[in-house]
Amino acid sequence: MIRVLVPLVLTGLLVFAVVDILAIDGGRVRSLPKYAWIGLVVLLPLIGPLLWFLVGRERLEPRNHGRYSEAPAVSTGPGRRFGPIAPDDDPDFLGRLSREQQQEERIRELEKRLDELGDDKPEK
């Protein structure tokens, strides 16, 4: 039974690793080029796929369930780091900030007009 199961598991792992290497975006491959990873996986049937999954493939960071969980994950250029967008780069944040500033300006203007109206009342 083990004589049949071990080769099946190794073949499945090898096929899974090769398909994963071919399907993954080239920017997420670390250490070696894709073709070198494929060669390593094929030449070293057990160690190659394990190295690919542990070292060769850059993982997307899991979603943070804390304070900043709503921030989208994006690539930030040549370093290819994934993480939240900085507030000054987020168009939604900048638009919301602009709307809040406009509302505050309107509130100040209305308060000023109310003060002017209150000063015009005749005293008793």
Q: Are residues 80 and 100 in the same domain?
A: no
Question: How many Cβ atoms are within 10 Å of 97's Cβ, its own excluded?
Answer: 13
Same domain, yes or no, for 80 and 19? Answer: yes
The letter for the amino acid at 79 is G
Residue 12 lies in a domain: yes
Query: In angstroms, what CA-CA distances link 67 with 63, 83, 84, 97?
Result: 11, 13, 11, 19
Whether 20 and 79 map to the same domain: the answer is yes
Same domain as 108, residue 78: no
Has residue 64 been placed in a domain?
no
pLDDT reported for residue 102 = 95
Q: Are residues 46 and 97 in the same domain?
A: no
Answer for the pair 22, 37: CB distance below 8 angstroms, yes or no. no
Domain range for residue 99?
Answer: 88-119
**CB neighbour list of residue 64: distance below 8 Å, 6 or more residues apart:** none
- 52 and 7 within one domain: yes
For residue 38, what is the enclosing H or E element?
Answer: helix 34-43
pLDDT recorded at residue 122: 60
Q: What pLDDT, on a 0 to 100 scale, did the predictor assign at position 22?
A: 92
The predicted structure's pLDDT at residue 25: 86
State the pLDDT at residue 79.
52
The pLDDT score that the predictor gives to residue 57 is 83
**Residue 68: inside a domain:** no
In a domain, 11, yes or no: yes
Structure confidence at residue 36 (pLDDT)? 92
Same domain for 55 and 39, yes or no, is: yes
Please list the ranges in the chain whose pLDDT falls under 50. Answer: 66-71, 76
Say yes or no: 78 and 96 in one domain.
no
- For residue 90, what pLDDT is reported? 78
In a domain, 13, yes or no: yes
